[in-house]
């Protein structure tokens, strides 16, 4: 068995079951492991710490599969991991509406580092972001099809992080041929909603399944309110607000294609288009423009893309988060509510709250935090891997 031997004192994170081994912790590589092959990770004294997938070009030199020496990382082991993850989702949503949208595999939190799989009806969208998941790609795809009974797998391994792993970008049908141009999923609610999903060119795997519970919260907040939805993408929060009884919703996004699909999602749910307003614009510019025009709202939703993929981007991202939250607060009417999110792994929950607090101070408003939000439960958080808490949300009410 090929081995990674750590430098003295570098085993502490593995003893706490954190699954990443960084290059600076490695003293030597014994043997000649290939990209993605399984290696034993040992302490400087030779004690077994983990079985991990080797990635020679990445700063994350290996990602742990297992911390049990007796476990062998093979087809049967991987199939069992996939099966356990899918069984958890079935128990989580025993009466899910069809066609269902659900995250089946959530990377490290399901013991499968660098692998994401989302189900949209009869289609699974798979993202492979690590050398280990790439090595076992075919096995994992077979397991997903066998254990879900889906018709096809579409791959969206077109992530920037693959470059860091020394892997090429890849996107396209993997099993079962091309999917329809748009898939459709249903959410139970309340309110019960339906959405069209573009798995070929949409963001992430096509849809933000992680915001499922937060869409329901927005619906509860919306009755009788004028709503501003920024970075609206395909309009899931817009649809939720309208279905919940919002008086009006202004939706802003820089993508004309996303706004077109957002309009279709409003129509799909039989909602009144006269209560909607659409603005194709850079959100940073739009927020200032709306303020200059004297617009104001009862509920403002800020769900921007990832500003800080890693901690090294945090300082610049913090300025962007503060800017949009500052203007979000300024656009609120007295007694209004800001629902604001960060999906940046490089921004901790504590830092995000400090940024929003600073924005409220600079906006001259007194804001109270009434609720913290996160990802839906099919996107679990591994306690030994705090990096998996990527989605952070705050509900803030002003006086």
Report which of 160, 148, 83 is spatially closest to residue 118, judged by C-alpha positions: 148
Render the burial of 236-271: b for 16+ CB within 10 Å, e for the rest.
Answer: bbbbbbbbbebebbbbbbeeeebbebbbebbebbeb
Residue 57 and residue 101 in contact, taking contact as beta carbons nearer than 8 Å: no
- CA 298/CA 249 separation, integer angstroms: 10
Neighbouring residues of 312: CB distance < 8 A, sequence distance ≥ 6: 346
The residue whose two tokens read 């009788």 is 224
Rg of the chain over Cα atoms, rounded to whole angstroms, equals: 22
Which tokens go with 48?
């077994």
Can you name the residues that pair with 171 across neighbouring β-strands? 156
Which tokens go with 41?
């990770």
- CA 53/CA 36 separation, integer angstroms: 5
Residue 40 and residue 60 in contact, taking contact as beta carbons nearer than 8 Å: no
User: Does the annotation count 230 as an active-site position?
Assistant: no
Q: How many helices (H) and strands (E) does the chain have?
A: 11, 20
Q: Which of 42, 150, 232, 343 is catalytic?
A: 343
- CA 380/CA 376 separation, integer angstroms: 8
Torsion of the alpha carbons at 149, 152, 158 and 163, rounded to the nearest 10: 60
Which regions of the chain does DSSP assign to beta strands (E)?
A: 3-6, 20-22, 26-30, 38-42, 48-54, 60-66, 101-106, 115-120, 123-128, 152-157, 170-175, 183-187, 193-197, 226-230, 248-253, 276-280, 297-302, 332-342, 367-373, 392-398
Angle (nearest 5°) at CA 375 between 374 and 380: 115
Instruction: Please name the residue ranges forming H helices in 183-231.
Output: 212-221
Positions annotated as catalytic residues are: 343
């Amino acid at each position: 068995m090929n081995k990674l031997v750590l430098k003295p004192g570098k085993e502490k994170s593995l003893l706490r079951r954190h699954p990443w081994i960084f290059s600076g912790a490695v003293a030597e590589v014994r043997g000649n492991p290939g990209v993605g092959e399984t290696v034993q990770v040992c302490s400087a004294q030779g004690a077994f710490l983990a079985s991990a997938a080797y990635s020679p070009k990445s700063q994350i030199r290996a990602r742990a599969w297992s911390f049990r020496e007796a476990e062998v990382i093979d087809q049967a082991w991987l199939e069992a991991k996939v099966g356990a993850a899918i069984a958890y989702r079935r128990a989580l949503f025993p009466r899910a509406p069809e066609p269902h949208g659900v995250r089946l595999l959530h990377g490290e939190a399901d013991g499968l580092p660098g692998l994401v799989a989302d189900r949209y009806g009869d289609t699974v969208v798979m993202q492979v972001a690590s050398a280990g998941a790439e090595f076992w790609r075919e096995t994992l795809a077979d397991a997903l099809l066998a254990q879900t009974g889906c018709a096809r797998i579409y791959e969206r391994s077109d992530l920037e992080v693959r470059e860091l792993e020394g892997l090429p970008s890849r996107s396209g049908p993997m099993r079962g041929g091309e999917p329809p141009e748009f898939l459709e999923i249903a959410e139970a609610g309340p309110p019960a909603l339906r959405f069209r999903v573009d798995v070929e060119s949409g963001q992430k795997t096509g849809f933000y399944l992680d915001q499922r519970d937060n869409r329901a919260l927005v619906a509860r907040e919306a009755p009788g309110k004028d709503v501003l939805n920024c970075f609206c993408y395909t309009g899931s929060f817009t649809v939720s607000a309208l279905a919940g009884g919002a008086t009006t919703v202004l939706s802003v996004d820089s993508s004309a294609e996303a706004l077109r699909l957002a309009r279709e999602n409003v129509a799909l749910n039989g909602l009144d288009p006269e209560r909607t307003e659409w603005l194709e614009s850079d959100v940073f510019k739009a927020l200032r423009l709306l303020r200059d025009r004297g617009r104001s709202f009862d509920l403002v939703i800020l769900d921007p893309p990832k500003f800080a993929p890693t901690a090294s981007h945090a300082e610049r991202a913090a300025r962007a988060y503060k800017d949009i939250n500052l203007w979000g607060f300024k656009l609120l009417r007295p007694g209004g509510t800001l629902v604001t999110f960060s999906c940046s792994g490089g921004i901790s929950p504590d830092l995000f709250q400090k940024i929003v607090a600073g924005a409220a101070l600079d906006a001259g408003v007194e804001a109270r935090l009434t609720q913290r939000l996160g990802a839906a439960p099919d996107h679990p958080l591994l306690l030994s891997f705090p990096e998996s808490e990527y989605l952070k949300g705050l509900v803030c009410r002003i006086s």
